[in-house]
Amino acid sequence: MSAEFPVARPRRLRRTSALRRMVAGTRLHAADLILPMFVKEGIGEPHPVVSMPGVVQHTRDSLRKAAREAAEAGVGGVILFGIPAVKDARGSAADDPDGILQVALRDVRAEVGDAVVVMADTCLDEFTDHGHCGILTESGDVDNDLTLERYASIAVAQATAGSQMIAPSGMMDGQVGVIRAALDAAGFADLPILAYSAKYASAFYGPFRDAAECAPQFGDRSTHQQDPAGPLEEALREVRLDLAEGADAVMVKPALAYLDVIRRFRDEVDVPVAAYQVSGEYAMIEAAAANGWVDRDRMIMESLVSIKRAGADLILTYWATEVARRL
């Protein structure tokens, strides 16, 4: 052993919190965070979502208040999910100008103006009585192309109501292209699309289906959402198709179990990459923390930093307002 051994001591830069802060390679900003929120038609009080402690189905009033709080905390955006009072097979409320999501978009835009990016999920599952993301064939499959017509109409309804970004999440083939064409034809050529490009058929969506009341009444979404065991190249194919169809930003969902996909997207594409820290990721940490098994606040920050380090520019998280305040 030489007298100088060891010359290299990586711990030198870890000695003080000031040093660690200065050399941190991964930084979260409030503006990177997007808050998903649920609004339910016709309720008088917010309804707690049991499987997501701290998350509620909002009334129109409580939604406005929560959006204002998010804006004041500096979050980058909010994304709204609507639960209509009446559902049917074609999800008629989804593109009704007076449907809950359109009403909520107008409410929130009136409340926060241009302070945050206001958007809505563009899908059908919250609006259909069968809980699937599209129009069903007689045999109960989701009809891709009939569903596209509905998505185009929903996107235009949301744009008309003031949505500042369209976020199609249904994983129908061709959805970005059809929505782009419909928006352009309706005078919304400048409205960006955030495409859920790699969306996996995931067990991590479990609590969301309580929150949005959209659990499929039969079957599942594995015929159109990606297989978790599918090749990484499949995700790349999806993202290339979405970009070719006109996507302005792309998303990976869920986040923590798919950090490799986030990294590949960040390396391969030249648009912002978003990652959705989904309901099951939220519920896991909240449930373990409620039992006193983990340090809740540190775990939240560590999970978000990991998603950022993997390459996400934007993160959708139910903790957005809380974390934005802490930053």
Give the residue numbers annotated as catalytic, written as ranges. Answer: 199, 253
For CA atoms 291, 293, 298, 303, the dihedral sign is negative
Binding piece for ligand PBG, criterion CB under 6 A, among 119-127, 146-154, 187-195, 229-237: 119-127
How far is the CA of 47 from the CAs of 16, 37, 38, 52, in angstroms?
Answer: 44, 12, 10, 11
- Provide the token pair at 18: 């000031």
Q: Is 33 helix (H, G, I), strand (E, B) or coil?
A: strand
Give kind and range of the element (H or E) at residue 237.
helix 232-244
What track of x and - describes contact with ligand PBG for positions 9 through 38 (by CB under 6 A)? ------------------------------
Q: At 36, which amino acid appears?
A: P
Indicate the residue among 273 and 278 with the shorter CB distance to ligand PBG: 278
Q: Tell me which of 41, 107, 125, 238 binds ligand PBG, using CB under 6 A.
A: 125
What track of x and - describes contact with ligand PBG for positions 132 through 151 (by CB under 6 A)? -x------------------
Q: Which parts of 166-205 interact with ligand PBG (CB under 6 A)?
A: 169, 205
* Euclidean distance between CA atoms 66 and 105, whole angstroms: 13
Q: Are 271 and 247 in contact (CB under 8 A)?
A: yes
Binding piece for ligand PBG, criterion CB under 6 A, among 21-29, 70-78, 87-95, 117-125: 117-125
Q: Tell me which of 279, 303, 317, 321 binds ligand PBG, using CB under 6 A.
A: 279
Q: Tell me which of 127, 200, 208, 265 binds ligand PBG, using CB under 6 A.
A: 208
Binding piece for ligand PBG, criterion CB under 6 A, among 8-16, 118-126, 145-153, 258-266: 118-126
* Euclidean distance between CA atoms 33 and 213, whole angstroms: 24
Q: Is 26 helix (H, G, I), strand (E, B) or coil?
A: coil
41 binds ligand PBG (CB under 6 A): no
Q: Tell me which of 103, 156, 178, 278 binds ligand PBG, using CB under 6 A.
A: 278
Give kind and range of the element (H or E) at residue 118.
strand 117-122
Neighbours of 154 (CB within 10 A): 28
Q: Which residues contact ligand PBG (rule: CB under 6 A)?
A: 121, 123, 125, 133, 169, 205, 208, 221, 278-279
Binding-site annotation: residue ranges for Mg(2+): 238
